[in-house]
Amino acid sequence: MARIRAAPPVPVSPLFQINQARYRDGLNQFVNRIGADAQLLLKEEMRLLLREVVRFTPPKTFAQGRAAVGKDLVKNATPLDHSKIKWPRLAELVRKRDLDGIQKLTDSVKKGFWQGRKLLTSTSQIADEHRRNRNRYGRVRSDRRNMAVVAIWNRYTRDVQSRVGFAKAGWVTAARAVGLSMPGWVTRLSGAAGGGYVAPTQNRLVIEAINRSTKIPNYEQRVVSSAVRSRAMSIESELKRLLAGGKSRRGSLAATASGQQALM
């Protein structure tokens, strides 16, 4: 489960273990120096922060995600399609679904592509190997010397590809609450993906977005910390511009006289 909290000061769940003092300082300055309404500022910032988190969460597009899954699963286990195998003896065994024969034949190979390949005979075996072979970025980077009959391989691949966008979908509940739109290929999974949102109140200036679908390895360090850093840099740039007399469209600045001076 992942959480994002934005508040002055901006507490974040220890699960992330990221240094966001820079971001917290920027939000505090918006309140103390520009006169932003803290509660409205939190909602504005959560929308912008979530936008960055979603942007940094792979994949960028549905097509990119499906393609990445396909490439990884070919490396995880070579799909055995008899019509594409150039070795006639193996092609015939694959056509007949002679699993014992396939393994015995490849075991006899002393060198080359087919040497040392292990036949995976079920989607659960492919899934076990997939979990084992993923690196810290969640990808399979090299040939893992496995193989599977194409019908079984296709079944597992379709299942994994159907979940492309699942990590992004965990943010949908919070995104809707703060007015952030997300593409249909992400929102279609929102019912299955766990997520939540806790709004700030006058007595509790904390806004919380919860994603229970982030199974990407090192997600907090790779994605959330990058998003926080991006927002911290944007806050600093905007603050500098406003203090120099620039204007803003932020609704959080409308509640105070000092804040209204910065409005367009």
What share of the chain has pLDDT > 70, as a percent?
88
**Do 76 and 97 share a domain, yes or no?**
yes
Q: What is the pTM of this model?
A: 0.79
Do both 234 and 104 map to the same domain? no
> Do both 108 and 153 map to the same domain?
yes
pLDDT value at residue 12: 41
User: Looking at the predicted structure, is the pLDDT value of residue 2 above 70?
Assistant: no
Helix (H, G, I), strand (E, B) or coil at 218: coil
Residue 10 confidence (pLDDT) above 50: no
> Are 45 and 68 part of one and the same domain?
no
Given a contact cutoff of 8 angstroms between Cβ atoms, the answer to whether 209 and 46 are in contact is yes
Q: What is the DSSP letter of 263?
A: B
Query: H-type helices in the chain, by residue range?
Result: 21-29, 38-56, 62-76, 88-95, 99-107, 123-133, 150-161, 166-169, 172-177, 184-187, 219, 225-243, 257-260
Domain that residue 90 falls in:
62-161
Inform me whether the pLDDT recorded for 100 exceeds 70.
Answer: yes
Looking at the fold, whether 252 and 206 belong to one and the same domain comes out as yes
Last residue of a domain, one of 161, 183, 201: 161
Check residue 39 and give its pLDDT.
84
* 205 shares a domain with 132: no
The last residue of one of the domains, among 126, 161, 196, is: 161
Same domain for 31 and 108, yes or no, is: no
Is the pLDDT assigned to residue 49 strictly greater than 60?
Answer: yes
